[in-house]
Amino acid sequence: MEHLTKKELKASIKNKLANVLGVDTETASDALYYKALSMVVVDILQEKRRRFSVDTNSNGKKQVYYLCMEFLMGRSLKNSLYNLEIVDTVRDALDDYGVKLEKLYDYEPDAGLGNGGLGRLAACFLDALATQDYPATGYSICYEYGIFKQKIVDGWQTELPDYWLPGGEVWLSAKPEKSVDVHFGGEVEEFWDNNYHHINYKNYTTVKAVPYDMYVTGYNSKGVSRLRLWKATASGLDMERFNRGDYIGALGANSMAEVISKVLYPNDNHNEGKSLRLRQQYFMVAASVGDIINRHMATYGTLDNLAEKVAIHINDTHPTLAIPELMRILLDDCGYSWDVAWNTVTQVFAYTNHTVMSEALEKWNEDLFASLLPRIYQIIKEMNNRFTYDLYNTYHLDYPTVEQMAIISNRTIHMANLCVMACHSVNGVSALHSEIIKKDVFQQFYRIMPHKFTNVTNGIASRRWLYQSNEGLTRLLKETIGDGFLRDMGQLEKFNPFVDDKNVLDTLATVKLENKQSFCAYIERTTGVVLDPNSIFDAQVKRLHEYKRQHLNALHILTTYQWLKQNPNAEFTPHTYIFGAKAAPGYFLAKQIIKLICTLRDEIEKDPVIREKLRIVYLEDYRVTLSELLMPAAEVSQQISLAGTEASGTGNMKLMLNGALTLGTYDGANVEIAQHVGEENMFIFGMRTEDVAREKASYDPRSIYRDNPVLKDALDQLSKGIGGSTFPDIFHSLVDRDPYMVLKDYDSYAAAHRLVMSTYADQYKWQAMSLRNIAQSGFFCADRATCEYAQNIWELR
């Protein structure tokens, strides 16, 4: 059905317009054509998924369920058309109606159900699993408001609600008959009868989880992944309160239930926010695990074979409560003994860690937890008792070590410890990161259970950032190496032999220039700013965080600006610095860094001489769709986190795939990029992880400030003011504390920039380096990453 003829496609679109939307093809607006076409595509995807599920169930195949609080899906229409390989047929059909397909794409909002890399990774994995015909379901929350829309006002980030559902709802299929009840609060009564442990859970409040399904088709495959998103609704109206005249009280309870799926991640710098986050997490996992169990029982009629047929993956610690929730179902609802239930749980669950910073590992206050989730709390306490008993009596560990490894210690519940203790597999997301979690973050666990620890380096939905976003490069690759790379990105290595072919290098340069011109046209259309496409396009696009060191980039731009002010006639290759980043709403220093970057931008714009050589672009509301426009245009990929702080990064992979050269530290997946492409085809700077560990104890940023006149001038400018704005918090953060050693790495970073400029002057050398990056980027495809998960961790056949 996915290979519709043009005639069938036209008839389907006409049918949707007439019978669902009530218009004819002559009077329908582009917005209605977008809706009609999307409905046709959803029908195709549902039918394809139905056939795929029949095959999966009839053959008793093991299935993977991927739990993540975030899925940064972006737009679905373009992705679906390209993966179904019907984009040309659709374009032709719409042309007959006088409608341009490219215009329809813009009617779809980004499904921004995530903050950044974590949620985008989950979305890429659904695409890759479907492409390889692995049966997969993702689970998350149907947030009514996705990640906030970022508006920059006077240089400051302000947050506006992202109401993505008008325009996005067409991709969601409601399944109310699959709803699951989720319980909060209440009390637990326990009693024993004939050596059987009984639980009576009462006086709880119930929230109904209603599922909405999105479908992600694989490329040139039978597979379709399903993303099931849960919407919270009240279980019913409290008629007793309503009849008493307490209308606000009766309806207020409903509102409190429904707030769970209103907004992606509330601020948690207050108790109400913490409570809501915990509610969101349990709501998502209770609904998802309930759904998994219901589906498994409908297929097999028993849970005895659950571990044989089901793999549940916990992506970061947010879905950890799935572990005690499955224990609850097996113990309380099904009557299994603790040992049998525990054996099942430990075989079913696997965990991916996404942070090297122990302070970022999730923890919950024990009292808050016990009041909100009393039965789950009891189960976690029992897990902790058994685990710590084992640590003392089997492994003979001392008290401080046991406290460090315990699930509950100091009135705090440690989610990562629960994951590592209960899951059969624990992986990091780059080779360096996986070594750090073994040697540092989970060092004690690794000593006694080394068999659990493994690595799966992240991967990206390469087709999205190449085939769908970079038409010129895709065409060049097809002409030189054929089109097999679209199915197997490892075949990009066939591009390597063209590294000395000047015709190919010239074409590569032309493709990059055309992509830069497209990006410039977008910037002019949306901001009125006219950029020079012949300048170096240097991009740092990722979440705004101190460890990612956007302020190192800004500091270097400031020193360059000061130097150009003193040397306005110096030889200088024009440079356009492109930033795209959102700061967490409660993260004040990150917002100040945005203000600093925007203030620098505005100062440079006022100077007609310097702005010919130096420009800053701050991409407001950076998102997947903007990324698809930027990645093909960028030439320098800034990946400058302090070594040992970035778990992996995936923007580095998207930029590499499109031929940008990495200017980066030896951190995260940069290490493996260097191994694949060679450090001579990158610009590596700064300390290594072991240098950071050695230097940290005695690090004194003030001495660097005192002894480096270039840095001192720039830092003093932050205090004195730029364009009427002062930045004392950034100044003191860098000079007094500098937790991410910006000043220590500054000179090495500045030297790397000088090397970028001198290399760029030799365009054949630059394009040859670019070609090698493209040719070696196949390893970083999500197809490879998900295949490693499927075979080595989930044991899917």
- Split the chain (797 residues) into runs of 10 and give each run's mean pLDDT: 82 97 96 98 97 94 97 96 97 97 96 88 98 98 93 96 93 98 94 82 94 97 98 82 73 78 75 87 98 97 98 97 98 95 98 89 95 97 98 97 97 98 98 96 97 98 98 98 97 98 98 98 96 98 96 98 95 96 94 98 96 97 96 98 96 98 98 98 98 96 98 97 97 98 98 98 98 98 98 94
Whether 473 and 659 have beta carbons less than 8 Å apart is answered as: yes
State yes or no: is 241 an active-site residue. no
Q: Which residues pair with 74 in a beta bridge?
A: 111
* Whole-number pLDDT of residue 162: 92
In this structure, how many other beta carbons lie within 10 angstroms of the beta carbon of residue 497? 13
Burial status of residue 618 (CB atoms within 10 A of its CB: 0-12, 13-18, 19 or more) = buried
454 phi, psi to nearest 5 deg? -150, 180
Radius of gyration of the chain (CA): 27
SS (H, E, C) 651-674: HHHHHHHCCCEEEECCCCCHHHHH
* Whole-number pLDDT of residue 1: 44
* Whole-number pLDDT of residue 256: 78
Whether 439 and 410 have beta carbons less than 8 Å apart is answered as: no
How crowded is the C-beta side of 525, counted as CA atoms within 13 Å? 6
* Whole-number pLDDT of residue 268: 62
Whole-angstrom distance, CA of residue 616 vs CA of residue 612: 11
| Residue tagged active-site, from 56, 388, 650, 786 | 650
Whole-angstrom CA distances from 274 to 280, 362, 365, 538, 602 are 10, 11, 9, 38, 38
Closest CA to 474 of 580, 631, 652, 626: 631
Q: Where are the beta strands (DSSP E) in 278-396?
A: 310-315, 349-352, 363-365
Whole-angstrom distance, CA of residue 61 vs CA of residue 797: 7
Residue 46: which residues within 8 A CB-CB, separation 6 or more? Answer: 173, 215
DSSP 8-state symbol, 269 = S
Whole-angstrom distance, CA of residue 363 vs CA of residue 412: 6
Whether 383 and 324 have beta carbons less than 8 Å apart is answered as: yes
State yes or no: is 494 an active-site residue. no
State yes or no: is 654 an active-site residue. yes
Tally the residues of the chain: 797
DSSP string, 595-657: HHHHHHHHHHHT-TTGGGTEEEEEETT--HHHHHHHTTT-SEEEE-PPTTT-S--SHHHHHHH
Helix (H, G, I), strand (E, B) or coil at 502: helix
The sheet carrying 363-365 orders its strands as: 363-365, 412-414, 408-409
Q: Which residues pair with 190 in a beta bridge?
A: 199
Burial 540-559 (b: 16+ CB within 10 A, else e): bbbbbbbbbbbbbbbbbbbb
| Residue tagged active-site, from 48, 208, 354, 424 | 354
| Residue tagged active-site, from 654, 753, 772, 784 | 654
| Residue tagged active-site, from 183, 313, 438, 548 | 548
* C-alpha 595: how far from chain center: 24
Closest CA to 307 of 644, 629, 64, 561: 64
User: What six digits make up the tokens of 372?
Assistant: 């909100």
State yes or no: is 556 an active-site residue. no
User: What six digits make up the tokens of 481?
Assistant: 């190496």
Whether 638 and 664 have beta carbons less than 8 Å apart is answered as: yes
| Residue tagged active-site, from 78, 463, 512, 542 | 542
Alpha helices per DSSP H over 310-352: 322-328, 338-348
DSSP 8-state symbol, 450 = G
| Residue tagged active-site, from 35, 208, 231, 543 | 543
Q: What is the pTM of this model?
A: 0.96
Helix (H, G, I), strand (E, B) or coil at 567: coil
